[in-house]
Each structure stands twice: as structure tokens, then as C-alpha cells.
Amino acid sequence: MNEIVLPTKKVEAQVRNPENLIIFSKPKVGKTSLLAQLPDCLILDLERGTKYIDAVKLEANSIDDIKAIGEKIKEQGNPYKFVAIDTITKLDEMVIPYAEQLYSKSPMGKNWFAPDGGKSKYGTIIGMPDGAGYYWTRLAFTKVTDYISTWAPYTIFVGHVKDTMLEKEGTNFSSLELDLTGKLKRMAAAHADGLGYLYRKGNKNILSFKTTNDISCGARPEHLMNKEIVLSEMVDGKLITHWDEIYVD
């Protein structure tokens, strides 16, 4: 280990761009179209949502597909600057068989796939009593997203929005948040450098990093912190994107 020198003044920030970005929105706002306009970005399509869009894209229908794609990317020297996962919400469902494999390799889950084991009793791992299976789905999800994050310098996870009813001071109100299961939502948000809510206003798509009572958002980079960015706009019938407002370096 090198000799430790204690700092005596502020150390300058080493990174400006969000290396791990989550964008979530209501359906049909145009997330996929925006990703297609980002140069040098591979879209990993988990929901067959790119069928009608020209893009640098690959479909994946299982964790095995994702593994095979990752191996090919590494074999070719990680050729992309960006990799976008469309969507992180679908990935939450897709990891369930992988979570069962992980559980079956543990001492407590060694009989999971036996004829009279947990698989036959509960159907899937998330059917286990007291939510015990969710630990394994979170573990599987984290392993997969960590693996995907090694494919390119910047990773974008696109997700759906979940409309949740909350109560505050006796009043019910609706809160929009990332649609992921239980604790996984907080884990994914904590790991991200930016969590932005995309919404449409007139002919513009706006990516908000402002946290309000209605929406949970946020960002670490100073140029995004508590900001709203016009990410795209229609000009003379053409979609113009402003990804350079997010990735400034």
C-alpha cells in the first residue's frame, strides 16, 4: 500500500458524467427513441420495444442471452461508449430463474429443484414464505447489473414508473417512483449516479433530477443536481436530442 497523505484542502472532482444513470417514465414518453439518438450506444432490448426504431440494438430474452452478449462485447474489446438496458423493470422479472439457480447452490436451497422441493411447492422463489426469496432475486439482479456495467464506460438503465398512493398528515396523494420490487428499488437508486424522471411538456421531453413530494429523483454530478434538463425537442418535425447536457465531457 502506498503511503497515505492526508489532504489539507479540497480535492477536485474526478468524474463529471454519470457512469450509472437510471431514467424512468410513464409509457410511450419516448425513452427508447431518445436512446436511439445517443451516439455509440448499444440498446439491450428486453421488452421488444425497439422493433419500430432504427437503433444500434440487440434483443435479450433471458439471463443466458445477456451473458452471451456480454462475452461477445468483451471479446471484441468493449466497442461501445454507452450501453442502455431497456428496461430495468423487465430485468427485475428476468432474474427470477437465475435467482433460483443461485439459491439451489446454497446449503439451504440444495433441494430446490428436487421433485418434492421448494420449486414444486412455491412455483417460483418469490413465492417462498415471509419474502425469503427476495434476497436471492436482489442478489441475482445485482450480479447481472454489475456485469452489464463492465461492458462500457457509461450504463443507462431505463425503467417504468410506479404510481403509489401515500398518506401524509391525513391526506392521500400519489407518488411516482421507479417500478422495481421492494428493497431493490432503494438499492438501485442508491447505486446510481443519477435517477431522473422523464416527462413530456409540449414538444419537449424533460429529464428531471428534482426530488419533490410527488417524485423521487436525484443526481450526484453537480451539473445535474436538482436540475431539469430538456433532453429532446421536436423541431420542424425532427427529433433533436441534447445528450450533451447529461454527458458533458
Q: What is the pLDDT along the chain (249 residues), one digit of tens a residue?
A: 678 888 888 877 677 899 999 998 887 888 888 999 999 999 999 998 888 889 999 999 999 999 999 999 999 999 999 999 998 889 999 999 999 999 999 999 999 999 999 899 999 999 999 989 999 999 999 999 999 999 999 999 998 887 554 344 444 334 567 778 778 888 888 888 999 999 889 899 999 998 876 777 889 999 999 999 999 998 888 889 999 999 998
* pLDDT for position 26: 83
| CA distance linking residue 98 with residue 226, whole number of Å | 37
* pLDDT for position 10: 80
* pLDDT for position 167: 42
* pLDDT for position 1: 61
Distances (CA, A) of 246 to 131, 208, 212: 38, 11, 21
60: nearest Cα among 42, 47, 75, 79:
47
Give the position of cell 442478489: 139
227: nearest Cα among 194, 201, 249, 202:
194
Angle, CA of 30, 34 and 40, to the nearest 5°: 155
* pLDDT for position 141: 93
* pLDDT for position 159: 87
* pLDDT for position 171: 41
* pLDDT for position 236: 86
| CA distance linking residue 145 with residue 155, whole number of Å | 9
| CA distance linking residue 215 with residue 194, whole number of Å | 14
Instruction: For residue 84, give the 3-state DSSP assignment.
Output: strand
| CA distance linking residue 99 with residue 5, whole number of Å | 43
* pLDDT for position 153: 96
| CA distance linking residue 127 with residue 27, whole number of Å | 28
Residue 246 in contact with residue 224, Cβ under 8 Å?
yes
* pLDDT for position 25: 86
